[in-house]
Amino acid sequence: MPKISSDTLWEIAAEEVRCREEDEGETATERTSERTVFLMGSKSGGKTSILLRCLDRDEPSKPTLALEYTFGRRARGHNTPKDIAHLWELGGGTSLSDLVQIPITPVSIRSLSLILILDLSKPNALWGTMEKLLQAAQAQLEKVFTQAQQAEKGKPGAKHQTPAHSATRVLPKDYPDRELLSPFPVPLLIIGSKYDIFQEFDSDKKKVVSKTLRFIAHYYAASLIFTSIKSESLMSKAKSFFSHLAFGVDRGKTVSCDSTKPLIIPAGSDSFSQIGSPPTTDVDVISRHAKTPKDLWKKVYESVFPQEGTSEQRELKDPAKDQQYNEPQIDAMRAQKDQELEQYKRNAAKSWKGLELET
């Protein structure tokens, strides 16, 4: 007859975990690291293509229907666990910004990073896209931070603990213009896509776009890089920034702030003094109507590139009719159920008409 132990279930479980860790020789550095990266940005701005290139996946990109999930893995060395990156991609530009609540959760914010991909070839939609998506993400982040803090308050000993979540991202004391910034709550990378088209723009217009994005990136304590899927060298640099967020890999020390060249500016490598004032001759007139420096840059940018409406129509195809999701047996059953539904509607309509006549 087996011996009955007086230990509680929790004591037995704790001992089991301790024994497993001893047997496997597991250390903190050998444990699998998991991070979450959320990509969003301009509609048809190249988000999927850039993601596939960063993951070294040689496959054709398909339009993102709404919100899609994939993952990436990377080994730190021989016979070590692979780090995992949970990757979410928001499609539809700004039309589906309410879906940010799915990837931004109390669990994911512990290791969450955000990548905003803006189409440089469409400057007239750039500011509106950037503003709406960042506002949606920031609102959800603040909501989640609040929920996480409230949950922690209910834990034993919470009064003597430092909150694990904070809506305010703390920057190093030597960070340039630290007191003048509004750091985004989580690490943020802004990617300007389709640089191959953008480089053919008029030099003055390129200067406006480049300086404006430098201001925005520095204001949010974010990194900024311009890239093109048609350039191996630019994609290689973009991949290093992506890998830094997804797997903690060193992103390199290259910095390029020249508006005549692709921008490569890691967070903390720029300053307002280097960026200078907004590129316009009417800055004094415009500044009278601007309430904040960010508002000033917005008005200057929109004076050069009047913004198109960002209330995009949800031109999303029915996934059930999309060829890339073909499932013959399921589609046949779906067609049968659709026919049964239509027949039911017709019969119901006849019944209501019969009741009306009797009445």
SS3 per residue for 87-140: EEEECCCCCCHHHHHCCCCCCHHHHEEEEEEEECCCHHHHHHHHHHHHHHHHHH
The answer for 194, left when phi > 0, alpha when psi is -120 to 50, beta otherwise, is left
What is the model's pTM? 0.77
For residue 44, CA distances in Å to 94, 143, 166, 344 come to 11, 29, 33, 40
Distance CA 131, CA 90 (A): 15
pLDDT at 198: 97
256 DSSP 8-state letter: B
Reply yes or no on whether the pLDDT at 1 is more than 60.
no
Mean pLDDT of 268-294: 81
Dump pLDDT digits (tens) for 33-55: 899 999 999 999 999 999 999 99
CATH architecture, domain 28-304: 3-Layer(aba) Sandwich (3.40)
Dump pLDDT digits (tens) for 188-214: 999 999 999 999 999 999 999 999 999
* Closest of 65, 59, 48 to residue 320, by C-alpha: 65
Q: Is the dihedral of CA 228, 230, 231, 236 positive or negative?
A: positive
Dump pLDDT digits (tens) for 144-180: 998 888 877 766 665 544 444 566 788 999 999 999 9
Of the chain, the percentage scoring pLDDT greater than 70 comes to: 76
Reply yes or no on whether the pLDDT at 353 is more than 70.
no
The answer for 112, left when phi > 0, alpha when psi is -120 to 50, beta otherwise, is beta
pLDDT at 314: 46
Distance CA 91, CA 69 (A): 11
φ/ψ of 223, rounded to 5, equals: -90, 155
Distance CA 119, CA 47 (A): 10
Distance CA 276, CA 278 (A): 7
Mean pLDDT of 132-143: 96
* Closest of 300, 309, 259 to residue 122, by C-alpha: 309
**Sheet containing 34-41: order of strands:** 67-75, 82-90, 34-41, 112-119, 188-193, 223-226, 264-265
Q: Is the dihedral of CA 149, 155, 160, 164 positive or negative?
A: negative
pLDDT at 335: 83
Distance CA 318, CA 325 (A): 10
Q: If you compute the radius of gyration of the chain from its CA atoms, what whole number of angstroms results?
A: 26
For residue 273, CA distances in Å to 173, 179, 189, 200, 238 come to 18, 14, 21, 28, 26
In sequence order, what are the beta bridge partners of 90? 67
Reply yes or no on whether the pLDDT at 245 is more than 90.
yes
SS3 51: helix
For residue 174, CA distances in Å to 186, 269, 272 come to 19, 11, 15
Reply yes or no on whether the pLDDT at 330 is more than 90.
no
